[in-house]
Amino acid sequence: MEKQRKKLLSKLPAINDLLDSKQGQSLIDVYGHQMVVDASRHAIDELRNTILNTTSSMLSEFELLSLDKLNEKISAYLESKQQNGLQPVVNATGIVVHTNLGRSLLSTSAKKSISEIVSSYSNLEIDKLTGERGSRYQHVAKLLRELTGAEAALVVNNNAAAVFLILSSLAVGKEAIISRGEMVEIGGSFRIPDVMKQSGVILREVGCTNKVHLSDYEAAINENTGLFLKVHTSNYKVVGFTEEVEFAELVGLGEQYGLPVVDDLGSGILVDLSDWGLSYEPTVQDRISAGVDVVSFSGDKMLGGPQAGIIVGKKKYIEEMKKHPLNRALRVDKLTLIALEATLKEYRHPEKVFDEIPTLKMITASKSQLQCRAQKLYQILKKVISTKLSLQINSSFSQTGGGAFPLDKLPTAVIELTSVQVSIVDIAKQLRLNHPPIFTRIANQAIIFDLRTIKDSDFMILADALQNINLSGGENGE
């Protein structure tokens, strides 16, 4: 080995030199001895590898890092290790209920309620009046009855769990009659036929993909029929020559034969969004007033609350579910319940709910509002951006996401970032690796920042990230 390389290696500091230094000691105060030892070892190993792998011609220019510089590196390394794996990100995709980005943002009131409850004991399962054991669901159940008109309510971990519990409690070993057009798959892992099989229910398909008649349901009834299952086709629509059975008719048939009608409503909204230019999606109240026996829906889709599966319906069926052992396994935590209670309370004020629930607020934001905000963001970004990049305000469409309104496109304002010199894919990657990470969409060789899901407080984050982007990397090789 060259003499110079040997000399450099011999000058590498020992771990104890780093630990005994003043900075080393203060790092130990913050992170503890073992963490700092590991980080120091990591830093020295890295330096050793660099020396070993530097070409001979570069060796003469190689400067060994000072102890101070090395400690700085160690400190940065420790800080990055300390960061939470799960962290806030900027959603610039324009998809409001984005499952991969955590679905709904909670309302201010839900956030406040959570922060109040987390470090206190609570009356989660105790009756204040008698001092005896109560139900953890009583507070939200009361609100759900009030808002939906249902006789009873129950909350479980998510809507997939809700469907599972409903089928297991009401029809195990029996047949569930379902229309062929409603054999839904939601995001790969939730397929109605698989869920039915797992819950011990026998699938009984009726009708055709595009058409089903009441007589199809009636003809399928036998002594082993357990229930009628309706599944909201939340992420697609069958259009054209189609026919569905009205809920009221199915309910009538159910009453005639003593069979419950169960509806997996999927997204489950409590307000009609057709006043906002969206197509009509059935509300939970509509289903209850049509006499549907059991309705289930998600807490974190259009409702705009925490992850939860909400079940509302006739008392005798909900009681069956409460008694089922699965219910205990699927039960939700107090954090979910407090956030859900706060979210549901917002629906008592129909005139304010579109402002208070972030999901509803983003979905109903008007194009002119979004254009105005796009102007503001454009002005901020224009000041910091490199001349290698160009920015432009444009019109586009966002999506609600969350398996609702599959055909609706929401007119929106976006900022498009393009470059003739630098790879757009590389920039998008750098944005994802930013602190905090920024998720965008790419279309027509441009990075799209959709104002619908970008918060005002994200503007400076975007500016910082774009200002610091490294443009020397990949050439435009898409």
Distance CA 36, CA 44 (A): 12
Sole window of 22-30, 200-208, 230-238, 322-330 interacting with ligand PLP (rule: CB under 6 A): 230-238
How far lies 18's CA from each of 25, 28, 48, 77, 420, in Å?
A: 9, 11, 15, 14, 46
Distance CA 74, CA 66 (A): 12
Orientation of helix 367-384 relative to helix 459-467, angle to 10°? 30
Mask: binding to ligand PLP, 350-389, rule CB under 6 A, as x and -? ----------------------------------------
What is the nearest approach in angstroms of ligand PLP to the Cβ of residue 142? 22
130/189 with CB nearer ligand PLP: 189
3-state secondary structure 394-451: EEEEEEEECCCCCCCCEEEEEEEEECCCECHHHHHHHHHCCCCCEECEEECCEEEEEC
Applying CB under 6 A, which of residues 231, 353, 410, 417 lies at the interface with ligand PLP?
231
Per-position DSSP letters for 234-282, written without gaps between them: TT----SS-B---HHHHHHHHHHHT--EEEEEET-BSS--GGGTPPP--
Long-range contacts of 21-28 (CB under 8 A, 24+ apart): 21/67, 21/71, 23/68, 23/71, 23/72, 23/75, 24/71, 24/74, 27/71, 27/74, 27/75, 27/78
**Per CB under 6 A, 181 contacts ligand PLP:** no
8/156 with CB nearer ligand PLP: 156
Distance CA 134, CA 150 (A): 21
18/144 with CB nearer ligand PLP: 144
What is the nearest approach in angstroms of ligand PLP to the Cβ of residue 337? 16
Omega within 30 of 0 (cis) for the link into 436? yes
What is the nearest approach in angstroms of ligand PLP to the Cβ of residue 342? 19
**Per CB under 6 A, 264 contacts ligand PLP:** yes
**Per CB under 6 A, 158 contacts ligand PLP:** yes
Distance CA 473, CA 433 (A): 15
**Per CB under 6 A, 199 contacts ligand PLP:** no
Applying CB under 6 A, which of residues 267, 285, 336, 434 lies at the interface with ligand PLP?
267
Distance CA 397, CA 277 (A): 14
**Per CB under 6 A, 283 contacts ligand PLP:** no
119/189 with CB nearer ligand PLP: 189
Applying CB under 6 A, which of residues 77, 190, 276, 459 lies at the interface with ligand PLP?
190
Comparing CA positions, the residue from 293, 290, 288, 343 lying closest to residue 109 is 343
Tokens of 477: 């090789």
What is the nearest approach in angstroms of ligand PLP to the Cβ of residue 197? 15
**Per CB under 6 A, 343 contacts ligand PLP:** no
Tokens of 478: 């898409």
**Per CB under 6 A, 266 contacts ligand PLP:** yes
**Per CB under 6 A, 159 contacts ligand PLP:** yes
Applying CB under 6 A, which of residues 92, 403, 422, 440 lies at the interface with ligand PLP?
403
Name the closest residue to ligand PLP (Cβ). Answer: 266
Count of residues that interact with ligand PLP, criterion CB under 6 A = 15
What is the nearest approach in angstroms of ligand PLP to the Cβ of residue 201? 15
**Per CB under 6 A, 285 contacts ligand PLP:** no
Distance CA 308, CA 333 (A): 10
Comparing CA positions, the residue from 225, 223, 156, 166 lying closest to residue 192 is 166
**Per CB under 6 A, 160 contacts ligand PLP:** yes
Distance CA 178, CA 184 (A): 11
**Per CB under 6 A, 232 contacts ligand PLP:** yes
Mask: binding to ligand PLP, 300-329, rule CB under 6 A, as x and -? ---------x--------------------
**Which residues are at the interface with ligand PLP (CB under 6 A)?**
158-160, 184, 186, 190, 231-232, 234, 264, 266-267, 298, 309, 403
